[in-house]
C-alpha cells in the first residue's frame, strides 16, 4: 500500500490488491469501520472508499497461491498476538494518527479484531491491528511516531465518531499487496458528484450570534468535503429559489462573520411557506440546487416549520415526480431529507436547552442600560420602570433582575391578581426605601400578565410607583436595542460550537433518525429531539393561555425555576421572617483569595442576602488570609452596605494570593474558633484551591476547620481542577474579545498587517483558545503545547500565502493570540519580530498587549447570574453537610481524615459537562492536579481548540 500523488485540494489516494473475493469483501468492511471511509462505488473488480480527504481503491486480482500466502501470514501474526511485536514480524506497516486512541481501540474490541497496544493496555500510545489482506495497520497518539515523511491532511469526522483519524505516510516506500497507481479523473468526478450539500438558513427574529453560526456551518461543511449553501431571507428564499436566494458559499464568503450582529443572509416572514404549495416549491428549489440536508437557525416557529417540512418531504417529492417537475434520478437521490435545528432567539424561550443563541448578548445590553439608568436614578433618588422583551418567556427580565438587584420583576410565568402584584411590589419597594435605598428599579417583560391574562404595562407600574408611593418615576423601553450589536463571547462560541455539531448531526442522520435540535446543558453541547423540544416550548404558551401557571412553570427548565427561587430569596434578604428556625441558623464566612475576578462581588452579595433570608449570619473575611491574621478583619455583612455590589467589578472585600500556611494557619484556626464559624465559602483561583486543600488537611490538628467548606472557582485562567467554568473567565474573555475586535479592525485597515496579542492565563491556554474561537484568530499559542520552531515556520508560511492570495481584500487583517507563558523565549514582541523578518515582505507583525484590562471591567451577564446560582448552592451545601461533622467538631476520635464521608465536606463546586457538581478537594488535589503547573491534568477545552484551528484552516504539525 503506497500513497499516491494528491488528486485535488490535498486529497490522497491508495490502492490495495486482494487475491480473493472473500478477502476483498472483508477488506471493504474493515476500512469502512476502522478508517471511517464511505463505500462510494464498486465494480466486478474494484471498489472505491472515500471520505473527502483519503481515497482507498481495492482491486481484485484472484490468485489462489498468493491468497494462500496471505492466509499464512495472517495466521502467523494472529498466533503471536500476545507473544511478539507485529512490527518486528512484518516488513512494513501503515500508521494513522488519532487524538482519541482509546476510542479507536474500543472499536477494535467491539469488532472482535486482534490488536496490540504499546506501551501498555491502560494508556496506549500506539495500537495495531491486522486488515484482512495481511497488512499491519496502526493508530498512534504520539507526535509523528513512526512516519518519516510529511503528514497527510486530516480525515474528517464522520459516522458519529467524535475524534477522526489523521492519515500518516507509510513508514517505508512499499507495503505488500500495494501498487503505485493513482486514480483516474473518473474517480475524481464521481467524488464531486456524490458530495453532500448542506444548506443553512436563519429564520424568525434576528439574534446576535447567527452570523457566527452560519460561518461555522459553512466552513465545517467544506472541511468535511461537502458543499455549503446559504438560503437567503429564510423560508422566503426557499420558496423563491434560484441562485439569487440559494447561493453556494465558499470558505472566504464568511470571513469576519463571527463579530457581526444580526444575520447577513437575511430573515423574513413567509406566509407562503405555511401552505403546502409553498413547501412544494421549496422542495423543488432545494433539489434543483442539489441540497440534501438543511440546518435551520431560528426560534420555535421556524423550527416547527422545519420539522413539518421534513415530515412532509416524502409526499412532496412524490408529488413533484408525478407532476414531472423532477426526474426519477432526482427522486431517488433526494428522497430523504435530513434537518437539524439550532435555536437563535434572544428570549431564551426554547425548552430543553439552557441558552439560545443571542440571549446573553441581549441580556448584556439590558444590564448595561440598567447600570446607566441606576446611576442617574441614584443621583435623583428616582424610580425607573424598565421594559424588556419576552412575550411568552420572562428569562430576560428574571436574569436582569438577579444581575442588577432589581426591586421587583413582572414576568408571564408567575402572574398574580392586579391587587396582589400591586400590593407586593409596593411593600417590597417601601421596605427597600425605608432601609436607605435611594433607587428603585422595576423590570417588566413585555408579555407580563395578571392571573386573569390581562397585560401589565410599564404605564401600569408607573402609576403605582408615582401615584401610590409618590416616587419620581421614569419609564425606559429598551425595544430593539436588545437585538442589536456584536454578540458577546459566549454567543459567538455557543453559535460556533452548535454550528459545527449541526453539520455532524446531519451527516450522522439516517432516514430513521428523528430531527435533532442542538442544545446546551450547562457546559456541554448536546442533541435533543427537535419535535419534542418544540412541543414542550409551545406547551408553555398553551398552559399560560389556559391559566395553568403551575404547569407553565414546570415546563420551563429546572435552571429557570432555580433562578426564580433565587431571585425571591435574595430580594427579601432580612426584610421578612427567616425561613429556618433558630436552632438551624448558622454562621457562615466568605473570603476571596487570588487575583480579582468578575462576579466575585455578585457571589458575596448573593451569599449574604440568601443567608439573611434563611436566618444565617454572613461574615466577610476582608483582604484574604493575611488580613485575618494581621488585623482580625472579620465583619458581619448587612444588606444596606452591599447595595450595588452585583454590578461591580473587582473585590469589595479585598483579595490577595496568600495561602493559609503562608499567613499562619494556627492563627486562622484561632479566629475560626473565636467566631464559631459553621461553614466557609472560598472564592478564587488556584491559590483558593490550594487554601481549601490546606484547611482540609489541617482538620486533623485543628477542630475549627471541621466545618463544611466550599470553593467557588473564580479566575480568568479557568485553571481550577474540578470545573470547566470559573467566575471571571467570561468577563475576561469579553474584555479580551472586544480588544481583539478593535485590533483586528486596525489590522484590516492596513494592508498586510498582523497583530500578535498577548493573553493572560498563567499556564492555562483557556483564555487564548476561547478568544481565538470567538474572534476568528488565525493562530493561538498556549503553554500546554508551547511554540515549536516547526509549527511557527508553518504558521508564518501559511500567513504569507494567505496575504499573497488576498489581493487587498477587505477584512483581511490577521490576529495571532499567544498566552504570556506559551514560550519562555518568544514573547509577543519577539514573535512579532520573528514573523515580520521571516514573512518575505508579505506582511508585518505588531505586538499588542492588553495586560490587566483582562482583569478589570464590570462583570458580564454570565458571571453575575452564575455567581448568584453557585453561591446559593454553596450555602445549601453547608446546610446539608452540618450533620456529617457535628460530632467531629467536638471529639478528636470521631474524625478520620481519610474517611471519604468527611473529606467530601470540603469540596470544589464546579460545572462539569452537563452537571453542576461538588467534588472533594482532596480527591482533586491528589488525582487531577498538575501541582507544579497549577493546572488540571485534563484539558477540558481541547476540543474547542481543535475546532478553532479547523475553522481558520490552520495546519498543525502533530
Q: Which of 30, 9, 8 is nearest to 18 (CA)?
A: 30
Tell me the CATH architecture of domain 195-354+488-536: 3-Layer(aba) Sandwich (3.40)
Residue pLDDT, tens place only, 178-208? 333 333 333 333 344 457 899 999 999 999 9
Asked whether the predicted pLDDT for residue 92 surpasses 80, the reply is no
The grid coordinates listed for 59 are 482491486
The three-state secondary structure class of 563 is helix
| Cα(733)–Cα(488) distance, integer angstroms | 9
Q: Which of 496, 487, 459, 495 is nearest to 474 (CA)?
A: 459
Task: Note whether 44 and 1 are within 8 A (CB).
Answer: no
Give the pLDDT confidence score for residue 347 in this predicted structure. Answer: 93
| Cα(311)–Cα(26) distance, integer angstroms | 37
Consult the annotation and say whether 718 binds a ligand: yes
Asked whether the predicted pLDDT for residue 141 surpasses 90, the reply is no
Task: Note whether 929 and 721 are within 8 A (CB).
Answer: yes
Consult the annotation and say whether 237 binds a ligand: no
Q: Which of 937, 935, 940 is nearest to 912 (CA)?
A: 940
| Cα(173)–Cα(189) distance, integer angstroms | 28
Give the pLDDT confidence score for residue 51 in this predicted structure. Answer: 67
Per-residue pLDDT, averaged over 257-285, amounts to 94
What are residue 132's DSSP bridge partners? none
Consult the annotation and say whether 474 binds a ligand: yes
Consult the annotation and say whether 307 binds a ligand: no
The grid coordinates listed for 453 are 391574562
Q: Which of 405, 284, 298, 388 is nearest to 343 (CA)?
A: 298
Question: Given the C-alpha cell 489462489, which residue does it identify?
Answer: 64
Asked whether the predicted pLDDT for residue 751 surpasses 90, the reply is no
Domain ranges of the chain: 12-190, 195-354+488-536, 359-482, 580-727+859-927, 731-856+944-950
Helix (H) or strand (E) run with residue 816 in it? strand 814-819
Identify whether 63 is a catalytic site residue: no
Give the pLDDT confidence score for residue 13 in this predicted structure. Answer: 63
Q: Which of 138, 143, 145 is nearest to 105 (CA)?
A: 138
Q: Which of 485, 416, 595, 466 is nearest to 261 (CA)?
A: 485
Longest distance between any two alpha carbons in the chain, whole Å: 103
Name, in order, each residue with C-beta under 8 angstroms of 706's C-beta and a sequence gap of 6 or more. Answer: 699, 885, 888, 889, 895, 902
Q: Which residue of the set 347, 354, 557, 949 is catalytic?
A: 347
Residue pLDDT, tens place only, 765-818? 999 999 999 999 999 999 999 999 999 999 999 999 888 887 666 557 899 999
Number of other CB atoms surrounding residue 42 within 10 Å: 14
DSSP-derived secondary structure letter, 710: E
Burial (CB < 10 A; 0-12, 13-18, 19+), residue 470, is: exposed
Half-sphere exposure of 67 (CA within 13 A, CB side): 12
Residue pLDDT, tens place only, 554-599? 888 778 999 999 999 999 888 888 999 999 999 999 999 999 999 9
Homologous superfamily of the 359-482 domain (CATH): Phosphofructokinase domain (3.40.50.460)
Percent of the chain whose predicted confidence (pLDDT) is above 90:
67
Per-residue pLDDT, averaged over 169-177, amounts to 30
Give the pLDDT confidence score for residue 164 in this predicted structure. Answer: 33
Name, in order, each residue with C-beta under 8 angstroms of 193's C-beta and a sequence gap of 6 or more. Answer: none
Consult the annotation and say whether 161 binds a ligand: no
What are residue 711's DSSP bridge partners? 682, 908
Name the residue with higher pLDDT: 645 or 161.
645
Give the pLDDT confidence score for residue 738 in this predicted structure. Answer: 95
Q: What is the per-residue DSSP string for 214-262?
A: HHHHHHHHHHTT-EEEEETTTHHHHHH-STTTEEEE-GGGGTTGGG--S
| Residue 866 backbone phi and psi in degrees, to 5 | -70, -30
The grid coordinates listed for 679 are 461553614
Residue pLDDT, tens place only, 239-259? 999 999 999 999 999 999 999
CATH top class, domain 731-856+944-950: alpha beta
Does 119 sit behind a cis peptide bond, omega within 30 degrees of 0 on the bond before it? Answer: yes
Task: Note whether 333 and 457 are within 8 A (CB).
Answer: no
Q: Which of 296, 282, 203, 207 is nearest to 246 (CA)?
A: 282
Residue pLDDT, tens place only, 936-954? 999 999 999 999 999 999 9
Helix (H) or strand (E) run with residue 693 in it? helix 686-697
- Side by side, which strands form the sheet with 38-42? 12-18, 54-60, 46-50, 38-42
Residue pLDDT, tens place only, 656-694? 999 999 999 999 999 999 999 999 999 999 999 999 999
Per-residue pLDDT, averaged over 100-111, amounts to 80
Consult the annotation and say whether 857 binds a ligand: no
Number of other CB atoms surrounding residue 210 within 10 Å: 32
Q: What is the 3-state secondary structure (H, E, C) of 643-661?
A: CCHHHCCCCCCCCCCCCHH
| Cα(153)–Cα(138) distance, integer angstroms | 17
Range in 225-229, 286-290, 484-488, 536-540 the model is least confident about: 536-540
Asked whether the predicted pLDDT for residue 342 surpasses 90, the reply is yes
Per-residue pLDDT, averaged over 268-285, amounts to 94
Residue pLDDT, tens place only, 390-446? 988 999 999 999 999 999 999 999 888 878 999 999 999 999 999 999 999 999 999
Give the pLDDT confidence score for residue 9 in this predicted structure. Answer: 40
Give the pLDDT confidence score for residue 735 in this predicted structure. Answer: 95
Consult the annotation and say whether 131 binds a ligand: no
Consult the annotation and say whether 846 binds a ligand: yes
Consult the annotation and say whether 300 binds a ligand: yes
Tell me the CATH architecture of domain 12-190: Roll (3.10)
Asked whether the predicted pLDDT for residue 73 surpasses 90, the reply is no
Residue pLDDT, tens place only, 345-404? 999 999 899 999 999 999 999 999 999 999 999 999 999 999 999 988 999 999 999 999
Asked whether the predicted pLDDT for residue 171 surpasses 80, the reply is no
Q: What is the per-residue DSSP string for 348-406?
A: ---TT-S--BTHHHHHHHHHHHHHHHHHHHHHHT-EEEEEE--SS--HHHHHHHHHHT-
Q: What is the 3-state secondary structure (H, E, C) of 36-103?
A: CCEEEEECCCEEEEECCCEEEEEEECCCHHHHHHHHHHHHHHHHCCCCCCHHHHCCCCEEEEECCHHH
Per-residue pLDDT, averaged over 73-83, amounts to 83
Q: What is the per-residue DSSP string for 406-475?
A: -SEEE-TTS---HHHHHHHHHHHHHHHHHTT---EEEEEETT-B-TTS-B--HHHHHHIIIIIS---EEE
Consult the annotation and say whether 654 binds a ligand: no
Percent of the chain whose predicted confidence (pLDDT) is above 70:
90
Per-residue pLDDT, averaged over 4-15, amounts to 50
Asked whether the predicted pLDDT for residue 136 surpasses 70, the reply is yes
Give the pLDDT confidence score for residue 156 in this predicted structure. Answer: 39
- Confidence at 125, pLDDT banded by 50, 70, 90: confident
Let me know if the fold of 359-482 is the same as that of 731-856+944-950: yes
Name, in order, each residue with C-beta under 8 angstroms of 228's C-beta and a sequence gap of 6 or more. Answer: 197, 198, 199, 200, 217, 218, 219, 221, 222, 248, 249
Residue pLDDT, tens place only, 689-745? 999 999 999 999 999 999 999 999 999 999 999 999 999 999 999 999 999 999 988
Question: Given the C-alpha cell 406547551, which residue does it identify?
Answer: 539
The grid coordinates listed for 303 are 423550527
Name, in order, each residue with C-beta under 8 angstroms of 701's C-beta and a sequence gap of 6 or more. Answer: none
Consult the annotation and say whether 482 binds a ligand: yes
Residue pLDDT, tens place only, 821-879? 999 999 999 999 999 999 988 999 999 999 988 987 899 999 999 999 999 999 999 99
Asked whether the predicted pLDDT for residue 177 surpasses 70, the reply is no
Consult the annotation and say whether 657 binds a ligand: yes
DSSP-derived secondary structure letter, 714: B
Residue pLDDT, tens place only, 449-502? 999 999 999 999 999 999 999 999 999 999 999 998 999 999 999 999 999 999
Alpha-carbon dihedral sign for residues 501, 486, 401, 350 = negative
| Cα(686)–Cα(690) distance, integer angstroms | 6
Consult the annotation and say whether 270 binds a ligand: yes
Q: How many residues does the chain have?
A: 958
580-727+859-927 folds as Rossmann fold (3.40.50)
Consult the annotation and say whether 70 binds a ligand: no
Amino acid at each position: 500500500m503506497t500513497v499516491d500523488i494528491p488528486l485535488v485540494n490535498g486529497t490522497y489516494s491508495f490502492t490495495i490488491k486482494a487475491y480473493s473475493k472473500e478477502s476483498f469483501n472483508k477488506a471493504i468492511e474493515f476500512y469502512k469501520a476502522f478508517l471511517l471511509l464511505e463505500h462510494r462505488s464498486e465494480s466486478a473488480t474494484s471498489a472505491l472508499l472515500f471520505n473527502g480527504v483519503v481515497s482507498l481503491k481495492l482491486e481484485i486480482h484472484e490468485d489462489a497461491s498468493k491468497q494462500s500466502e496471505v492466509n499464512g501470514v495472517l495466521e502467523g501474526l494472529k498466533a503471536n498476538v500476545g507473544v511478539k511485536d507485529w512490527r518486528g514480524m512484518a516488513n512494513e506497516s501503515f500508521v494513522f494518527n488519532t487524538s482519541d486512541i482509546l476510542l479507536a481501540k474500543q472499536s477494535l474490541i467491539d469488532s472482535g479484531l486482534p490488536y496490540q497496544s504499546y506501551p501498555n493496555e491502560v494508556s496506549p500510545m500506539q495500537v495495531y491491528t491486522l486488515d484482512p489482506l495481511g497488512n499491519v495497520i496502526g493508530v498512534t497518539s504520539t507526535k509523528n511516531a513512526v512516519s518519516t515523511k510529511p503528514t497527510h491532511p486530516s480525515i474528517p469526522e464522520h459516522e458519529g465518531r467524535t475524534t477522526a483519524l489523521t492519515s500518516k505516510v507509510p513508514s517505508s516506500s512499499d507495503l505488500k499487496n500495494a501498487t503505485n497507481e493513482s486514480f483516474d479523473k473518473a474517480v475524481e468526478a464521481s467524488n464531486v458528484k456524490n458530495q453532500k450539500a448542506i444548506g443553512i438558513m436563519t429564520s424568525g427574529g434576528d439574534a446576535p450570534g447567527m452570523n457566527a453560526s452560519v460561518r461555522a456551518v459553512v466552513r465545517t461543511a467544506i472541511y468535511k468535503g461537502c458543499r455549503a449553501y446559504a438560503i437567503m431571507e429564510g423560508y422566503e428564499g426557499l420558496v423563491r429559489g434560484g441562485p439569487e436566494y440559494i447561493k453556494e458559499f465558499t470558505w472566504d464568503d464568511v470571513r469576519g462573520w463571527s463579530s457581526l450582529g444580526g444575520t447577513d443572509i437575511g430573515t423574513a416572514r413567509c406566509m407562503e411557506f405555511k401552505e403546502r404549495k409553498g413547501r412544494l416549491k421549496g422542495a423543488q428549489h432545494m433539489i434543483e440546487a442539489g441540497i440534501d440536508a438543511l440546518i435551520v437557525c431560528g426560534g420555535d416557529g421556524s423550527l416547527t416549520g422545519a420539522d413539518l417540512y421534513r415530515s412532509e418531504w416524502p409526499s412532496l417529492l412524490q408529488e413533484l415526480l408525478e407532476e414531472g417537475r423532477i426526474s426519477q434520478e432526482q427522486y431517488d437521490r433526494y428522497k430523504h431529507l435530513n434537518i437539524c435545528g439550532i435555536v437563535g432567539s434572544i428570549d431564551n424561550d426554547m425548552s430543553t436547552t439552557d441558552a439560545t443563541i443571542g440571549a446573553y448578548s441581549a441580556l448584556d445590553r439590558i444590564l448595561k442600560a440598567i447600570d446607566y439608568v441606576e446611576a442617574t436614578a441614584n443621583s435623583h433618588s428616582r424610580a425607573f420602570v424598565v421594559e424588556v422583551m419576552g412575550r411568552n418567556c420572562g428569562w430576560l427580565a428574571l436574569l436582569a433582575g438577579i444581575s442588577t438587584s432589581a426591586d421587583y420583576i413582572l414576568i408571564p410565568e408567575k402572574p398574580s391578581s392586579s391587587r396582589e402584584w400591586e400590593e407586593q411590589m409596593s411593600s417590597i419597594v417601601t421596605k427597600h426605601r425605608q432601609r436607605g435605598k435611594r433607587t428603585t428599579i422595576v423590570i417588566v417583560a413585555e408579555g407580563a400578565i395578571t392571573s386573569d391574562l390581562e397585560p401589565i404595562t410599564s404605564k401600569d407600574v408607573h402609576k403605582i410607583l408615582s401615584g401610590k408611593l409618590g416616587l419620581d418615576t421614569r419609564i425606559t423601553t429598551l425595544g430593539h436595542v436588545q437585538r442589536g450589536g456584536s454578540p458577546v463571547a459566549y454567543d459567538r462560541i455557543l453559535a460556533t460550537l452548535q454550528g459545527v455539531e449541526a453539520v455532524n448531526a446531519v451527516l450522522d442522520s439516517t432516514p430513521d433518525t428523528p430531527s435533532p435540535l442542538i442544545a446546551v446543558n450547562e457546559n456541554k453541547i448536546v442533541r435533543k429531539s427537535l419535535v419534542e423540544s418544540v412541543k414542550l416550548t409551545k406547551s408553555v404558551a398553551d398552559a399560560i393561555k389556559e391559566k395553568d401557571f403551575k404547569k407553565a412553570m414546570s415546563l420551563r427548565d429546572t435552571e429557570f425555576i432555580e433562578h426564580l427561587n433565587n431571585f425571591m430569596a435574595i430580594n427579601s434578604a432580612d426584610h421578612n421572617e427567616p425561613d429556618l428556625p433558630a436552632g438551624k441558623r448558622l454562621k457562615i464566612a466568605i473570603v476571596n483569595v487570588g487575583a480579582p475576578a468578575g462576579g466575585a462581588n455578585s457571589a458575596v452579595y448573593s451569599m449574604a442576602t440568601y443567608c439573611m433570608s434563611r436566618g444565617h449570619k454572613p461574615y466577610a473575611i476582608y483582604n484574604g488570609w493575611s488580613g485575618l491574621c494581621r488585623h482580625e478583619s472579620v465583619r458581619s455583612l448587612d444588606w444596606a452596605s452591599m447595595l450595588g455590589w452585583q454590578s461591580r467589578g473587582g473585590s469589595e472585600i479585598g483579595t490577595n494570593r496568600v495561602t493559609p500556611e503562608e499567613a499562619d494557619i494556627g492563627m486562622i484556626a484561632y479566629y475560626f474558633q473565636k467566631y464559631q464559624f459553621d461553614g466557609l465559602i472560598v472564592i478564587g483561583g488556584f491559590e483558593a484551591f490550594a487554601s481549601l486543600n490546606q484547611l482540609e488537611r489541617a482538620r486533623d490538628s485543628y477542630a475549627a476547620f471541621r466545618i463544611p467548606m466550599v470553593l467557588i472557582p473564580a479566575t480568568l485562567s479557568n485553571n481550577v481542577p474540578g470545573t470547566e467554568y470559573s467566575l471571571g473567565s467570561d468577563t475576561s474573555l469579553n474584555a479580551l474579545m472586544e480588544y481583539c475586535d478593535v485590533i483586528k479592525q486596525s489590522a484590516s485597515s492596513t494592508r498586510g498587517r498582523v497583530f500578535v496579542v498577548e493573553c493572560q492565563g498563567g499556564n492555562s491556554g483557556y483564555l487564548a483558545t476561547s478568544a481565538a474561537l470567538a474572534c476568528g484568530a488565525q493562530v493561538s499559542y498556549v503553554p500546554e503545547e508551547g511554540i515549536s520552531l516547526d509549527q511557527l515556520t508553518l504558521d508564518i508560511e501559511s500567513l504569507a500565502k494567505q496575504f499573497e492570495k488576498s489581493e487587498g481584500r477587505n477584512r483581511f487583517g490577521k490576529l495571532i493570540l499567544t498566552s504570556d507563558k506559551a514560550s519562555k523565549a518568544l514573547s509577543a514582541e519577539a514573535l512579532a519580530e520573528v514573523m515580520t523578518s521571516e514573512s518575505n515582505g508579505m506582511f508585518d507583525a505588531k505586538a499588542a498587549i492588553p495586560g490587566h484590562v483582562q482583569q478589570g471591567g464590570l462583570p458580564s451577564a454570565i458571571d453575575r447570574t452564575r455567581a448568584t446560582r453557585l453561591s446559593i448552592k454553596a450555602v445549601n451545601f453547608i446546610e446539608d453537610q452540618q450533620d456529617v461533622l457535628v460530632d467531629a467538631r467536638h471529639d478528636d476520635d470521631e474524625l478520620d481524615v481519610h474517611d471519604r464521608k468527611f473529606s467530601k465536606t470540603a469540596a470544589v463546586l464546579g460545572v462539569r459537562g452537563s452537571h453542576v457538581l461538588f467534588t472533594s478537594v482532596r480527591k482533586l488535589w491528589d488525582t487531577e492536579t498538575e501541582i507544579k503547573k497549577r493546572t488540571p491534568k485534563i484539558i477540558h477545552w481541547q476540543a474547542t481548540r481543535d475546532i478553532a484551528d479547523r475553522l481558520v484552516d490552520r495546519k498543525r504539525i502533530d
